[in-house]
Chains A and B, each alone.
Chain A
């Protein structure tokens, strides 16, 4: 048994050998989550990590917490049942682009809309790794893989847009190679009350290496990515000399100072906006015309499903009293045979 105050990263490392490919982006995510856990003030035994199938879904085996490596795509459904049965637990789902968005798409969107207090971390490498390199629902159009030798004709999902469209109350995106940014986003997700969704751009070194180079390469990334900050204008670029403004309902990348454009012309990020339009607007940004946003798209407060469920039970008990079997059995029309 560990005292919550003295927990360290090490206490969250299981004795199982980590079996991801050397250089896989998953290592960085695992390390950040192991680092985050002891800082949350939650006893180790009160964490549960639930996953589906895929490379990222091996995650629970490496966490010295309660955990389940379940079946393909179903982790959000299993985690939902666990959280409803045990609202006091901190329940995390680790999933991938195939697991969450292809086979598990239905559970994913329903988890988002219900707002059960789950932390859902999607490691998006835009490829199927465990089955050795087929395109995924987030692979870009034209991508050549073993199942798309002539280039993919499947239009990709934006996981962030999908989560927003499904009504998620917390939606964020980060990237495996920016540890500080990832740490900040994961902490925000942990602290959110309700379903928190984090998409992590994760490099698959074997089957899709370099998928995120444009936004991870230190010499390029500042011009290609936009770090979202609540209440701040959308500014990016190496010299923080670029921004995004609105033309009608269309976003437009602009150079600050050119043609009289100033910070005052730029869109200001508001992650808590009541209307989800701004977050969705941001979710549509893509290279090369616009920078790729990283950070918290949306964080709004709403009652959680399990709180409302507990309330229904409390109300029923207040109304009818705690049920008894004798009362239940004898309810309705009864008759007695002498």
Chain B
């Protein structure tokens, strides 16, 4: 079952990609440009708001943002544990 913050994440991505009707868990969000460089800042702010933790722009590891699975593992595991 998709956790509530992950639903927000999906909502954000789908809202910016009207041509997508769903996102598979392993879709590469960056290579597919579902999250492009213009959306990335807003996406970081969304994650910060959902996790209540700041993300250091200089410590960003793109692999944490590549798929829904990677995002959940990096940002939301603690909540679902």
Do A and B interact with each other, yes or no?
no
Q: Residues on A close to B: CB < 8 A? A: none
